Amino acid sequence: MVFEVELQVRVKPGQPPRPVVLEMHPEWAPVGVERFKQLVESGFYSNARFHRVIPDFIAQVGIAADPAVYAKWGNSPIKDDAVKESNKRGTVSFAMRGPDTRSCQIFFNYKDNRDLDAQGFSPIAVVKEGLEVIDELVVPSGKGPDQPTLKEQGNAYLDKAFPELSEIVEAKVL
């Protein structure tokens, strides 16, 4: 059954958060949608920063602000879902580094990335409202955050090295 998740996204530090509503599609990826719902309900995405923003490709988020929280979920991968929907502009998929390695990082497609379909990236949702907010996300400076350091130190690392990043202030199932 389709349901919605609302993300309150702060594009730049000091700005008020703005809503991004995701329409979740369990029929596309039941395992992925269930994991995302668990993560949202646990508060996992609160204060998570968009650590990888590549214009005209994707915007990625999902390393928790607290390293202990990331360790719990990031080290508990889920099985892959078959790809039933294409990675079109505005769809959301889990990031992964090979078969059955999805855990908590998700990405928003900035354009039609149909080449990701054959690589096994199964969309779980589509942005119903607020795609313009995603389009405005801050692109990290330089090479961007080092993911292993971010996983170890959480937002303490980002506060020092990348204070400009956009973040999810809060996520909730509607």
Burial of 9 (0-12, 13-18, 19+ CB in 10 A): buried
Mean pLDDT, consecutive 10-residue stretches, the chain (174 aa), reads: 98 97 98 98 98 97 96 96 98 97 98 97 98 97 95 97 97 98
Residue 3 structure tokens: 């349901």
Query: How far apart are alpha carbons 7 and 167 in whole angstroms?
Result: 10
The model's pTM is: 0.97
Q: Which of 128, 125, 162 is nearest to 39 (CA)?
A: 125
Q: Where do the domains of the chain lie?
A: 3-173
pLDDT for the residue numbered 112: 98
pLDDT for the residue numbered 7: 98
pLDDT for the residue numbered 84: 98
Q: CATH number of the domain at 3-173, out of 2.40.40.20, 3.20.20.70, 1.20.120.1200, 2.40.100.10?
A: 2.40.100.10
Asked if 63 contacts 70 with a C-beta cutoff of 8 angstroms, the reply is yes
CA 105 to chain centroid, in Å, comes to 5
Instruction: Identify any residues that bridge with 5 across adjacent strands, giving them in sequence order.
Output: 22, 173
Asked if 150 contacts 31 with a C-beta cutoff of 8 angstroms, the reply is no
pLDDT for the residue numbered 30: 98
pLDDT for the residue numbered 29: 98
Return the number of other C-beta atoms located less than 10 Å from residue 148's C-beta. 8
pLDDT for the residue numbered 61: 98
